[in-house]
Structure 1
Amino acid sequence: MNTPGTTPQTRGRAARKRVPRSAHATWLPSLDRQDPVAVLERQGRDRLPELLPIRYGRMSASPFAFLRGSAAVMAADLASQPHTGLTVQLCGDAHLLNFGLYASPERSLLFDLNDFDETFPGPFEWDVKRLAASVAVAARENGHSDDKAHRSARAATTAYRTAMRRLARMGELEVWYESVDADSLLPLVRSARHRRRVQSSLTRARRRTSLQALGKLTEIADGRRRIITDPPLLEPAGAPDMASLRKIFSDYRSTLSEERRLLLDRYRFVDAARKVVGVGSVGTRCFIVLLTGRDADDPLFLQIKEARPSVLEEHLPHGPYVHPGHRVVVGQRLLQAASDIFLGWMSGPQGRAFYWRQLRDMKGSADVLGMSPSDLTAYAGLCGTTLARAHARSGDRVAIAAYLGGADTFDQAVADFALAYATQTTKDHATLTAAIAAGVLRAAPGE
């Protein structure tokens, strides 16, 4: 909380007294730390039970996959530690795989955060620590030494700190308009082989549109275009779900700006299906909707995803939004340099909250688990820079920059934490696989 008469620099330096930058190096599980499997099972109580084995199957694949799906576990761990009190709109799940490519409304290909299910106001360092930990886990999974894993994790935090200090010197509009162009990826890649892979990723992302999805996700049946069936990952919406989706479509429409409502009204509802997405999200209710515009070759795919309370909410003061879908949409708009024009929210059957967005809009991600130490270090730095830009839009960037300072104390400490938490993640992953082996949890192939 800001004290009258204090400056941002003063508040930042005062936070150092509460939580010295070197203190971030420590990770020791609390004596009352919950069993990670119990945390996951509690999350699953209100999810579709038939899909939970897919979630556990995906998470059991590796420590990196486990970390991706266990944001709730890490949120509780971060909450057990002292925090700076320097609040930003957190992504809430700044895992390395939650950064990627997408198209701006102007059709430029941008690099940014791309998952906001857990977004919530909280201390800036929670996102930084999750990013750094995911880098360390990825490095170990790639067979990199701990020294190289530490270097890559440190690159993410150093990039965050230096970007935040640069942003602190910029004006408000300059910060708001700041973005990371996708072409920034290529100069970071040293090896010719990985440069070709990045170029290929950019090309694939530019092709990932609704028109491409039309050929991949639909077929003609009885003279009508329908979404294909690929159970259990993609299944036709039943009659009750279809009726509900048609009904709530108008409620979603009302959350868009007037010009975007006009655009949406040019499309016709054709079909819908239930789709399994992600890792941590598996088991939540998610649908895709096919609409057509001018004709059958003018498609628009929208994704409807259930919005649940953020995993951060039980550990932090109440946020400004009661509706979880509203929270996700506003968080995404705050954090991303440019957001999907069809982003909206509404309530569905039984009062469940949902948000809507385009299913494919030039989206793409990096092949993190195929990176060399130098490429992972460079990519981690890009993600750190991107995270700082996102935080600077909502938080007191001057106070955060003052806290971080010009030395690398924070960078080194968070990298130390990242390696220690990577070890914890390996142990937690082993706990999950043991529960599956013992029959406590059932796992299914997650492809």
Structure 2
Amino acid sequence: MADQVGEGHPKERAALGRAARADAPRSAHADYRPSAKRPDPVGVIEAQSAARLPELVPIRYGRMLESPFRFYRGAAAIMAGDLADTPRSGFTAQLCGDAHLLNFRLLASPERHLMFDINDFDETLPGPWEWDVKRLAASLAIAGRENGYTEAERSAVVRTAVRSYRERMRHFAGLGHLAVWYSKADTDVLWELADRKVGARARERARRAMAKARGRDSLQAFEKLTRVVDGQRRITPDPPLIVPLQDLLPDVERDALEEQLRELIQRYGHSLESDRRHLLRQYRVVDMARKVVGVGSVGTRCWIILLLGRDDEDPLLLQAKEADRSVLAPFAGASTYDNQGHRVVAGQRLMQAAGDIFLGWARVTGIDGRRRDFYVRQLRDWKGIAAPQLMTPKDMRAFGELCGATLARAHARSGDRVAIGAYLGGGDVFDRALAVFAERYADQNEHDHQALTDAVHTGRVRALNA
């Protein structure tokens, strides 16, 4: 877990925050220079791929090749090493670990309210709060380059997001623990931001996105991803992205894998609260399929589990995703959780304002004899993702503002918000520094993307479009 939110009188904690500027000046956060010992970026990606399903790894490379922004989404391990050499204030929080702009999205609360929050926690771990802010800042600069924004426009986008983080953190510093814990961004907040910050087209896109998110639930996924075969509801094949279990392996291995996945669901149920465990027991497993997800996660073992309840029109679609060690661990320290799925779930519960009622974890032994950790969640639950390629600079400033505020709220739940807020201060020194950092790291990301492109052209790695 991250450090406690802070001990001692708020004045003492604020003094510690201001004193930290002596060792880590806020302007120093503009610095980024690749270390002389910086590892080969393609080698870092290949090292990750070694533990993944080899037949899927070329899909990962193909997706990362598409653009510098797509590469960045899959390059959290590369950036983790780079961030380890950057200045830090000495204060920690529970980190997302991969806080790029597309990991902020619309989600459903258990009370069925539409919220805006962080979505991906595969790399979550306690660490320097600056690392998440810098990954968000660089993602905005890289997306801005892809959209053809000028350098001044990109700087404004980044400075707005970082200012939002700084101001919200200072706001949370003045609140009690429960007030911080209950803070959230629901649709009322989103509409207020849209009315103030974006144009008519963007407001209409936001309205459509919210309506679409509400439609992206288990029933919608059920209709899209399943079909009736010989009177039985089954997951629809879409190889290589979705491959039902019966199409994946020979009979003997398939039976062993099916038994393993049923055991996974049974064990995962023990990680849920008793009421949700009771709810899960009312469903029965009817089909399973392997699914290719995301960019950075391609090649990890990920399964769709179709369960049915009262009848064949009462579905529950779960996603069981393999959890490995966080990319931050070599630089921030190992997790206190032995089970990496437990690490992901604990981090998500700590950072998110409202979570999936079916979020849990399990460990099983695979058909290869290796123990593997998984976390489990609903496949879709009112999720809506941003489309940065459609954003004007004004739109992206508004989106960045929302992301910065959301990240501050997530950090304030676990880190010393008083000390961090005092360190950041009321001026824009940190904001301007991160705008410079973001551009410098965007340059580095382009070099790394080119390195992967060259590796594909020379045959060092193979890429596949899918």
Give the alignment's TM-score, normalised by structure 2.
Answer: 0.94
> Is the aligned partner of 1:208 residue 2:219?
no
Give the secondary-structure state (helix, strand or coil) at the position aligned to 2:451.
helix
Aligned positions of 1:132-211 closer than 5 A? 132-186=137-191, 187-188=193-194, 190-211=198-219
Distance 2:19 2:234 in 1: 60
Distance 1:100 1:55 in 2: 22
Q: Which moved more, 1:190-199 or 1:166-175?
A: 190-199
Match of 1:235 among 225, 233, 243: 243
Look up the equivalent residue of 1:78 and give its one-letter code: L
State whether residues 198 and 366 of structure 1, in contact with CA within 8 Å, keep that contact through their aligned partners in structure 2: no
CA-atom RMSD, angstroms?
Answer: 1.4
State whether residues 101 and 182 of structure 1, in contact with CA within 8 Å, keep that contact through their aligned partners in structure 2: no
State whether residues 198 and 398 of structure 2, in contact with CA within 8 Å, keep that contact through their aligned partners in structure 1: no
Look up the equivalent residue of 2:132 and give its one-letter code: D
Give the secondary-structure state (helix, strand or coil) at the position aligned to 1:226.
strand
Deviation at 1:4, TM superposition (A): 8.1
Aligned match of 2:463:
443
Deviation at 1:13, TM superposition (A): 1.6
Quote the sequence identity (%).
56
Aligned match of 2:73:
68
Distance 2:347 2:69 in 1: 25
Alpha-carbon displacement from aligned partner over 1:354-383 (angstroms, at most 9, x marks no partner): 000000000111111210000001100110
Match of 1:401 among 393, 400, 421: 421
Look up the equivalent residue of 2:336 and give its one-letter code: P
Deviation at 1:183, TM superposition (A): 4.2
> Is the aligned partner of 1:412 residue 2:432?
yes
Aligned positions of 1:34-433 closer than 5 A? 34-186=39-191, 187-188=193-194, 190-237=198-245, 238-349=254-365, 350-433=370-453
Distance 2:417 2:403 in 1: 17
**For residues 14 and 233 of structure 1, do their structure 2 counterparts lie closer, same or farther at Cα, with a shift above 3 Å needed?**
same
Alpha-carbon displacement from aligned partner over 1:197-252 (angstroms, at most 9, x marks no partner): 11111111000111111110001111101001111100012332211111121110
Deviation at 1:124, TM superposition (A): 0.5
Give the secondary-structure state (helix, strand or coil) at the position aligned to 1:348.
strand
Look up the equivalent residue of 2:224 and give its one-letter code: K
Distance 2:334 2:146 in 1: 37
Give the alignment's TM-score, normalised by structure 1.
Answer: 0.98
State whether residues 233 and 275 of structure 1, in contact with CA within 8 Å, keep that contact through their aligned partners in structure 2: yes
Deviation at 1:300, TM superposition (A): 0.6
Alpha-carbon displacement from aligned partner over 1:290-329 (angstroms, at most 9, x marks no partner): 1111111110100000000000000013332121101000
State whether residues 301 and 321 of structure 2, in contact with CA within 8 Å, keep that contact through their aligned partners in structure 1: yes
State whether residues 100 and 136 of structure 2, in contact with CA within 8 Å, keep that contact through their aligned partners in structure 1: yes
Give the secondary-structure state (helix, strand or coil) at the position aligned to 1:415.
helix
> Is the aligned partner of 1:434 residue 2:454?
yes
Deviation at 1:412, TM superposition (A): 0.5
Alpha-carbon displacement from aligned partner over 1:136-182 (angstroms, at most 9, x marks no partner): 00011000001100110111100000000000001110000000013
State whether residues 23 and 89 of structure 2, in contact with CA within 8 Å, keep that contact through their aligned partners in structure 1: yes
Give the secondary-structure state (helix, strand or coil) at the position aligned to 1:121.
strand
Give the secondary-structure state (helix, strand or coil) at the position aligned to 2:185.
coil
Give the secondary-structure state (helix, strand or coil) at the position aligned to 1:219.
strand
Distance 2:226 2:257 in 1: 19
Q: Which moved more, 1:166-175 or 1:310-319?
A: 310-319
Distance 1:286 1:239 in 2: 18
Give the secondary-structure state (helix, strand or coil) at the position aligned to 1:287.
strand
Q: Which moved more, 1:4-13 or 1:419-428?
A: 4-13
Deviation at 1:3, TM superposition (A): 9.4
Give the secondary-structure state (helix, strand or coil) at the position aligned to 2:50.
helix
Give the secondary-structure state (helix, strand or coil) at the position aligned to 2:285.
strand
State whether residues 94 and 127 of structure 2, in contact with CA within 8 Å, keep that contact through their aligned partners in structure 1: yes
Look up the equivalent residue of 2:21 and give its one-letter code: R
Give the secondary-structure state (helix, strand or coil) at the position aligned to 1:185.
helix
Distance 2:334 2:306 in 1: 36
Number of residues of Structure 1 aligned to a counterpart in Structure 2: 446
Look up the equivalent residue of 1:356 and give its one-letter code: V
Deviation at 1:58, TM superposition (A): 0.5
State whether residues 99 and 112 of structure 1, in contact with CA within 8 Å, keep that contact through their aligned partners in structure 2: yes
Give the secondary-structure state (helix, strand or coil) at the position aligned to 2:421.
helix
Q: Which moved more, 1:130-139 or 1:1-10?
A: 1-10
**For residues 183 and 445 of structure 1, do their structure 2 counterparts lie closer, same or farther at Cα, with a shift above 3 Å needed?**
farther
Give the secondary-structure state (helix, strand or coil) at the position aligned to 2:20.
helix
Deviation at 1:415, TM superposition (A): 1.0
Give the secondary-structure state (helix, strand or coil) at the position aligned to 1:30.
coil
Gaps in structure 2 of 5+ consecutive residues: 246-253
Distance 1:82 1:419 in 2: 17
Give the secondary-structure state (helix, strand or coil) at the position aligned to 1:428.
helix
